[in-house]
Structure 1
Amino acid sequence: MKSSKQALLLTALFLGTVAYPTLAAAQTAEAAASDSENGLGDIVVTAERRSENLTNVPVSVGVLSGDDTRAFTSGGDDTLLSLSGKVPSLYIESTTGRIFPRFYIRGLGNVDFYLGASQPVSIIQDDVVLEHVVLKSNPVYDVAQVEVLRGPQGSLFGRNTTAGIVKFDTNRPTMDFQGRASLSVGTYDTVNFDAGVGGPLIADKLAVRVSVLAQHRQDYVDNTFRGVSADGTVTPAKNVMGGFDDLNARLQLLYTPTSNLSVLLSGHVRDYNGTSTLFLRGALTKGSNQSNAPRDSVAFDEANNNPQAYKTQGASGHITWDLGGVEVTSITAYEHTSGYSRGDTDGGAAANFPVGGVPNGFGESQGQIRDLDQWTQEVRLASNNDGPLKWQVGGFYFDSRDITDFYQRAYFLTTAARNPNNWVRLHNVNTSWAGFGQASYTFNDRLTVTGGVRYTKDTKTTDLLKTADTAAGVVTYPGRRHVRLSDDKVSWDVSALYKVSDDASVYARVARGFRGPTIQGRSAVFNSDFTTANSETITSYEAGFKSQWLDNRLRFNASAFYWRVNDIQLNGNDTNGNGVLFNANRADAYGAEAELEFRPVPELVLSLGGSVLHTEIKDSKAEAQVCALNGAIVCTVLDPVRTQATPFGPVFLANINGNPLPNAPKYNLNFTARYDIPVTDSGKFFIATDWNVQGYTNFVLYETKEFTSKGNFEGGLKVGYSGGNGTWELAAFARNITNEKNLKGVIENYMAAVYNDPRIIGVSFSGKIR
């Protein structure tokens, strides 16, 4: 990674050198409104595809500012994974490195690591839906605001939003010259540079904005294995894993030929090289969920130190035309990606875990997207007036196509056991189209009733282009080579919001949504047939209130909810140990979330958020294969278990009826505080901190003593000086300040653990032009 590191550092230093004089000159700029006010300011969201005050939206929405997200990622953390737990009911994890985050809202998500997996949480960046799991990993930078829409959003945003949406809005071009930049350096040579600058090219007609994100961390994990590697991995080696280079850039052009027409063109690129997730074999001992493996060393005998690399490009055109009372919006977007991820999937060296004196437990795989193309087109007509009736109607088309390969261990071997045919190639196609409409009416300036409906047709096909044959080329695959699933559903929602006062409102909402049918073709690499799951449908009920008090120095929002998913899509292993999709009868959940923000004095801002959650699988016949290796259960299973004989030995299946969903924390608490100490008319010292505490979380479908976490916490601290009325800032920071080693995921049969990132300590500088 050295050449990439040098290029990144030169880029960061160059941009920093260019930006610093301008940023420093901006110290005398007018003070930010938030610095001169005693209140918290209003929050404007676009949860219903139009700009509205958060208090007036009948949806549970959590909001993070761009400055918040930049603080969380100052240590070089993944820009998406760093948001986990920062908003009530939002949880994010990954066991496939930085290219495959998995999102959960109110306990509903998908643990499947298959590259073709669907998720019930939709990711939308600048009004463009990112459907494929790799596209969902596109880093967010120069961001203005993040909105987490909790609960089904099927009417306005479509299928695969049964759990909700994480919506990112970046800073757009303006007709005023504006810019911001933040640069941080820290432990393990970590560098994080996030910047955006732009302004008019032609006054009132054409504006531009250029945004960049450069993240780097030096490899800091040693591979200590000293035995023989069957695939040529060179060991032992120091500092060969854990690092990354993630380079991103975006160019936006805003053209406004007339006062009622705007055209926003955007293009972005990503070049990422890093390390896939490190599984740590034997980190868990039977009877305990306390992990005992070090974070900075592994003993991998294969997989060439877990390399991972992806390149992504995308472009979009956003046209808005005000026709007087009606506004027409068209959004056309294209996304492309290609890359691979390779890993030692047993998380250790087989020679270190012998059975009968023979090395035991080899595992290695690679997933590779040869080519993926996603096209989307949306057209909306919306009312544009101040009357009591507001409406919008539109249509949406989605088309995603990819060629994906899966390689297994024998393909990589350099010994006589090598099988050059131990891989498969799949062609996946997903098309969807929808028509939708929504209307809301306000009675007496107090009561607003809203209803929306959407019809969606969703079709998926998977073709097996190459089978995993023997080394001699003999085809042994017995399953299907072509699978097509199609479904059409109606999604809807009805809500009522009542303004108790200008500063407080109560609301209730009922919504119905669905996640389309899913195909998993990866199992063909094990000579097993494709597995499929039918559509799942959700019905959700929620009620809550939103309020601002004490001259807007106190904001308090809360909601309670209940949802039921019928035919819920789950992921487990079959009797041969292969990952499979299946539908369980249903899953139920109930809970609540609350967010409080308080500014008791102008110098102090506090925020506190929390969620409680209960989820339960409801299917008396649903089973999942448990942690077993060499014909024996290796963990402590708390569910009823039955044994089934197979040609390969006994298989142990647990009944999962009544269990919680995986990665659904029973509670989550987040806290932030910032205290300013003015020292001049334009400058102040400050101290800021943020903390997150995660309740009991089960990582698998069955219940055990080992594969859970409880009481995980992580905190950050930042101390510095802000000058020029908030236009620049110099600070020292620490992320994961207590260096907690939190369990984030597991590989069951190898009792392997996945950890969070280590502590990063550093310094940062940021500045603004406004």
Structure 2
Amino acid sequence: MTKVDTQRLAACIPLTMALAALCSPAAIAAPAGQEASPPTSTLKDVVVTAEKRPEDIQKVPIAISVLDSEKLQAYGASGDTLVQLAGRSPSLQVESSYGRTFPRFYIRGLGNTDYDANASQPVSLVYDDIVQENPLLKGFPMFDLEQVEVLRGPQGTMFGRNSPAGVVKFDSVKPGEDTEGYAKVSYGSYGTANVEGALGGKLGGSGWSGRASFLLQHRDDWIDNAYSGRHDALGGYNDRALRLQAMYRSDDFDALLNVHARDYDGSAAIFRPNSVQAGSPSLVPGFDLDRVAQDGRNTENVTSWGASAKLNWYRDNLTFTSITGLERVRMFSLGDIDGGYLAAAGTPAWPSPSSALGSYSQTADEIPQHRQLTQEFRIANDADERLRWQTGLYYFHEDIDINNFNYDNTGTTRTAWVRQSQRTNAAAVFGSLAYQLDERFNLRAGLRYSHEDKDYSAQRFYGYTGTLGPLTANPTDSHWSGDLTGTWAFSDRLSVYGRYANGFRAPSVQGRLTSKNSLSSAKAETINSLELGIKSTGWDGRLRFNADIYGFVMHDQQMTAVAATSNSTDLVNVKRTDGHGLEFDLEMSPNANWAFTLGGSYNDTRIRDRDLAVSVCSNCIVLDPLNANGRALVDGNALPRAAKYVASFTARYSVPVGDTGEFFAYTDWNYRSKLNFYLYDSVEFNSKPVTLGGLRVGYNWDLGRHEIALYGRNLTDRRVILATSTFISRAAMVSDPRIVGIEYATHF
């Protein structure tokens, strides 16, 4: 790092020391002169695998948050996707411009708005120990999950490439020897139905156990199309997913086999033309969520399946681990991107003048072939040793073909066809050490060497200015990444840590040649990060408070510049990006009736590149200075979709009924501040601050084996602009309406 970088990161130290003082044992003890009351309800221990070993979250010196099964259950009844994780953890945002698929993750303001089917992201998603590299794989539904871990900051040692912002880690419920399972069914507004279940237990008497789980989600079409005159034409979906697991256990060996699949069909993203007011980031007066006027087609189909095998051998206080994964996905997504109808081609069945357009965009993306192979080998010593270590090898291979199509305004005749092909091979060697110097001080260090090769080509067969290509690119990159962490335990209830970490994202190439004649590429981005934090518990085990302050300097950040006049993007590298912030998690259970969580973050990001200029919209008020070519100079801007403030709150209240029953109410709320959609700043194309909430009220009996509950999502029925399109009109994608319903669950 440069001297300037070091000074910026070191500026975080004083505030973290103040936080440590506030959470000292004295600060979290009972008030002076008052004896601590005996505990009536203590928090459950939380075990995470952030460093690929099971550890108490309070002993892992990383900024990490966990979403447990109850929180996930609150989101699932209404058919919510991974996008609903946005704001549920400090510094975490999730969005998609594909509807219910292709989620894009942001941590500490770092993410990627690229919508190409081979786009990489700086937030890695790991599902049951297998990295899900392609954005379509990242959309696998949430069901039968033990917990979700959100690891903030570079994870360059254990997870390597494409994790400079962090990792989101999903862990399914694993098979056990006891026969048990559950079934849930819910029904709500707009025909929203959710059926979910699992069954597991011993398989014979030979050490085998198994678990099968499934998810069925459905919503009726509920959006009328004024152009065709068809009621309930869009907005519905069917989403089906299955997971089968088998576990073998013996004294010195265990194996976990996993097979999973998904089949989705429904509406793609629905754009609504002329929805954003001129001179305001608000929706136009009279905006109607239940109605569009589109002359094109809208459909999306995604099928994916995969398998993995995790094998552990235990010999002489050593654990040998092998994890093998295969993932495949296919997709076809066709959308009326302009969102309206071509005025010269006809009139709507019902009046809808705001959707009449002078030009159109009807496009489709297809993945006809995809394959991802991963292999990891690790060796680790006993977790109880004073010197703990692990080392390993990792291999990644991905082979993907992508078709990009343009259509006429009706979506029936293809007018352009581009084929992209990308082959990626990556390999790494890594190791980590943890040494307990004495009762108070622990030192951890990790190092990883990664190498990646891409073989990319793109060819246009017809459309735009005629045939083109094939155009090729072969970026290669090698990089060292790692971390160094020191932890000081003041007591068994309070510790502070300091962590330096770096990471990188491998080079990227794009070639959506349906409206341009050149490839777009970006070299590898790198990050250096300093994090200081505290881990504390108190109030006789009824309170847990963790906080951190961080700063980072990123060089050559890969960003996406959206074209002003066409449905295309260009990759650019930002010379330097600065960021700093504060994050905290609070859990509290004052008594057996109440439980609370509160989380929040402050994230400040700034682009530092005086020469970077990007094209801007022609139908908005641009706030940035323009260069001689009419392009916006974005130096000093915040990153796209980097909300400065994020906060979340949950509360659960319960009252015993008889000996085995309970009445409960659970509510969750999250807030995020304003964010911009693009690299440039404009009056119109940003999303205003928003607060969203949910509620579950119900009754369970027979010691929780049966439960019935009423639920509501988006209780205040907010209309939130999720994304925009600038090149034809001020079009917007808008959040789902309020969903209310009823759910029944039984556990056995």
User: Normalization by structure 2: what TM-score?
Assistant: 0.91
Structure 1 unaligned residues grouped into runs of 5+: 1-35, 226-234, 629-633, 645-651
Q: Would you say 1:408 and 2:406 are equivalent positions?
A: yes
Secondary structure in 2 matching 1:183? strand
* Corresponding residue for residue 692 of structure 1: 670
Q: What does the per-residue CA deviation read over 1:81-107, in whole Å, with 9 as the maximum and x for residues that have no partner?
A: 111111111000011112210000010
Q: Would you say 1:626 and 2:616 are equivalent positions?
A: yes
* Corresponding residue for residue 448 of structure 2: 454
The amino acid of 2:427's aligned partner reads W
Following TM superposition, by how much is the alpha carbon of 1:297 offset from its aligned partner in structure 2, in angstroms?
1.0
- With 119-128 and 179-188 compared, the bigger mean Cα shift is at 179-188
CA distance in 1, matches of 2:616, 2:556: 22
Secondary structure in 1 matching 2:79? coil
Q: Go from structure 1 to structure 2 and tell me whether the alpha carbon gap of 1:576 and 1:82 turns closer, same or farther (over 3 Å shift).
A: closer
Secondary structure in 2 matching 1:76? coil
* Corresponding residue for residue 584 of structure 2: 594
Following TM superposition, by how much is the alpha carbon of 1:204 offset from its aligned partner in structure 2, in angstroms?
5.8
Secondary structure in 2 matching 1:67? helix
Q: Go from structure 1 to structure 2 and tell me whether the alpha carbon gap of 1:421 and 1:626 turns closer, same or farther (over 3 Å shift).
A: closer
CA distance in 1, matches of 2:613, 2:281: 23
Following TM superposition, by how much is the alpha carbon of 1:337 offset from its aligned partner in structure 2, in angstroms?
1.0
Indicate which of 144, 147, 150 corresponds to 1:145. Answer: 147
Q: Would you say 1:367 and 2:386 are equivalent positions?
A: no
* Corresponding residue for residue 502 of structure 1: 492
Q: What does the per-residue CA deviation read over 1:202-246, in whole Å, with 9 as the maximum and x for residues that have no partner?
A: 236010100101111011011111xxxxxxxxx121111111100
Following TM superposition, by how much is the alpha carbon of 1:704 offset from its aligned partner in structure 2, in angstroms?
1.2
Following TM superposition, by how much is the alpha carbon of 1:350 offset from its aligned partner in structure 2, in angstroms?
3.0
CA distance in 1, matches of 2:622, 2:686: 12
Q: What does the per-residue CA deviation read over 1:612-632, in whole Å, with 9 as the maximum and x for residues that have no partner?
A: 11111110011111112xxxx
CA distance in 2, matches of 1:181, 1:590: 44
* Corresponding residue for residue 381 of structure 1: 379
Q: Go from structure 1 to structure 2 and tell me whether the alpha carbon gap of 1:575 and 1:724 turns closer, same or farther (over 3 Å shift).
A: closer
Q: What does the per-residue CA deviation read over 1:138-176, in whole Å, with 9 as the maximum and x for residues that have no partner?
A: 112100010000000011111000100000000011111
Q: Go from structure 1 to structure 2 and tell me whether the alpha carbon gap of 1:63 and 1:359 turns closer, same or farther (over 3 Å shift).
A: closer
Following TM superposition, by how much is the alpha carbon of 1:180 offset from its aligned partner in structure 2, in angstroms?
2.3
Q: Would you say 1:536 and 2:525 are equivalent positions?
A: yes
* Corresponding residue for residue 108 of structure 2: 106
Q: Residues 277-296 of structure 1 correspond to what in structure 2 (within 5 A)?
A: 277-292=269-284, 293-296=287-290
Q: What does the per-residue CA deviation read over 1:22-59, in whole Å, with 9 as the maximum and x for residues that have no partner?
A: xxxxxxxxxxxxxx961011111110100111110010
CA distance in 2, matches of 1:675, 1:413: 52
* Corresponding residue for residue 240 of structure 2: 247
Q: Residues 508-657 of structure 1 correspond to what in structure 2 (within 5 A)?
A: 508-522=498-512, 524-573=513-562, 577=566, 578-628=568-618, 634-642=619-627, 644=629, 652-657=630-635
Q: Would you say 1:703 and 2:681 are equivalent positions?
A: yes
* Corresponding residue for residue 751 of structure 1: 730
* Corresponding residue for residue 229 of structure 1: none
Q: What does the per-residue CA deviation read over 1:111-157, in whole Å, with 9 as the maximum and x for residues that have no partner?
A: 01011110000000000000011111111210001000000001111
* Corresponding residue for residue 54 of structure 1: 57
Indicate which of 292, 310, 318 corresponds to 1:318. Answer: 310
* Corresponding residue for residue 33 of structure 1: none
Provide the aligned length of Structure 1 versus Structure 2: 699
Secondary structure in 1 matching 2:154? coil
Give the fraction of aligned pairs with identical amino acids, expressed as a percent. Answer: 38
* Corresponding residue for residue 330 of structure 2: 338
* Corresponding residue for residue 431 of structure 1: 425
Secondary structure in 2 matching 1:64? strand
The amino acid of 1:571's aligned partner reads T
* Corresponding residue for residue 231 of structure 2: 238
CA distance in 2, matches of 1:421, 1:754: 25
Q: Go from structure 1 to structure 2 and tell me whether the alpha carbon gap of 1:112 and 1:385 turns closer, same or farther (over 3 Å shift).
A: closer
CA distance in 2, matches of 1:377, 1:625: 42
* Corresponding residue for residue 649 of structure 1: none
- With 749-758 and 655-664 compared, the bigger mean Cα shift is at 749-758
The amino acid of 1:768's aligned partner reads H
Q: Would you say 1:224 and 2:226 are equivalent positions?
A: yes
CA distance in 2, matches of 1:552, 1:732: 31
Q: Go from structure 1 to structure 2 and tell me whether the alpha carbon gap of 1:534 and 1:412 turns closer, same or farther (over 3 Å shift).
A: farther
Structure 1 contact 73–82 (Cα < 8 Å) conserved: no
Following TM superposition, by how much is the alpha carbon of 1:748 offset from its aligned partner in structure 2, in angstroms?
2.1
CA distance in 2, matches of 1:593, 1:385: 29
The amino acid of 1:44's aligned partner reads V
The amino acid of 2:483's aligned partner reads D
Structure 2 contact 460–470 (Cα < 8 Å) conserved: no
Secondary structure in 2 matching 1:568? strand
Following TM superposition, by how much is the alpha carbon of 1:182 offset from its aligned partner in structure 2, in angstroms?
2.2
Q: Would you say 1:74 and 2:77 are equivalent positions?
A: yes
Secondary structure in 1 matching 2:45? coil
Q: Go from structure 1 to structure 2 and tell me whether the alpha carbon gap of 1:448 and 1:359 turns closer, same or farther (over 3 Å shift).
A: closer
Q: Would you say 1:763 and 2:739 are equivalent positions?
A: no
Q: What does the per-residue CA deviation read over 1:383-415, in whole Å, with 9 as the maximum and x for residues that have no partner?
A: 12412111000000000001110001249766x
The amino acid of 1:252's aligned partner reads Q
Q: What does the per-residue CA deviation read over 1:58-89, in whole Å, with 9 as the maximum and x for residues that have no partner?
A: 100010112211211211111x1111111111
Structure 1 contact 518–534 (Cα < 8 Å) conserved: yes
CA distance in 2, matches of 1:563, 1:314: 36
Q: Go from structure 1 to structure 2 and tell me whether the alpha carbon gap of 1:236 and 1:358 turns closer, same or farther (over 3 Å shift).
A: closer
CA distance in 1, matches of 2:135, 2:402: 13
CA distance in 2, matches of 1:527, 1:567: 24
The amino acid of 2:393's aligned partner reads G
Structure 1 contact 143–168 (Cα < 8 Å) conserved: yes
Q: Would you say 1:181 and 2:191 are equivalent positions?
A: no
Structure 1 contact 353–361 (Cα < 8 Å) conserved: no
Following TM superposition, by how much is the alpha carbon of 1:735 offset from its aligned partner in structure 2, in angstroms?
0.6
Q: What does the per-residue CA deviation read over 1:541-591, in whole Å, with 9 as the maximum and x for residues that have no partner?
A: 111101110111011111111111100111114687541101110111110
Secondary structure in 2 matching 1:600? coil
* Corresponding residue for residue 631 of structure 1: none
CA distance in 2, matches of 1:208, 1:87: 32
Q: Go from structure 1 to structure 2 and tell me whether the alpha carbon gap of 1:636 and 1:527 turns closer, same or farther (over 3 Å shift).
A: closer
* Corresponding residue for residue 739 of structure 1: 717
Secondary structure in 1 matching 2:366? strand
The amino acid of 1:765's aligned partner reads Y
* Corresponding residue for residue 347 of structure 1: 339
CA distance in 1, matches of 2:433, 2:223: 55
Q: Go from structure 1 to structure 2 and tell me whether the alpha carbon gap of 1:665 and 1:352 turns closer, same or farther (over 3 Å shift).
A: farther
* Corresponding residue for residue 399 of structure 1: 397
Secondary structure in 1 matching 2:375? strand
CA distance in 2, matches of 1:403, 1:187: 38
The amino acid of 1:394's aligned partner reads G
Following TM superposition, by how much is the alpha carbon of 1:348 offset from its aligned partner in structure 2, in angstroms?
1.7
CA distance in 2, matches of 1:44, 1:569: 34
Supply the RMSD in Å over aligned alpha carbons. 1.9
Q: Go from structure 1 to structure 2 and tell me whether the alpha carbon gap of 1:84 and 1:359 turns closer, same or farther (over 3 Å shift).
A: closer
Secondary structure in 2 matching 1:753? strand
CA distance in 2, matches of 1:83, 1:694: 12
Secondary structure in 2 matching 1:71? helix
User: Normalization by structure 1: what TM-score?
Assistant: 0.88
CA distance in 2, matches of 1:358, 1:740: 26
Structure 2 unaligned residues grouped into runs of 5+: 1-38, 347-352
Q: Go from structure 1 to structure 2 and tell me whether the alpha carbon gap of 1:537 and 1:385 turns closer, same or farther (over 3 Å shift).
A: closer
Q: Go from structure 1 to structure 2 and tell me whether the alpha carbon gap of 1:575 and 1:269 turns closer, same or farther (over 3 Å shift).
A: closer
* Corresponding residue for residue 198 of structure 2: 196
Q: Go from structure 1 to structure 2 and tell me whether the alpha carbon gap of 1:552 and 1:717 turns closer, same or farther (over 3 Å shift).
A: same
Q: Would you say 1:134 and 2:119 are equivalent positions?
A: no
Secondary structure in 1 matching 2:631? strand
Q: What does the per-residue CA deviation read over 1:640-669, in whole Å, with 9 as the maximum and x for residues that have no partner?
A: 12453xxxxxxx311111000011111011
CA distance in 1, matches of 2:463, 2:693: 51
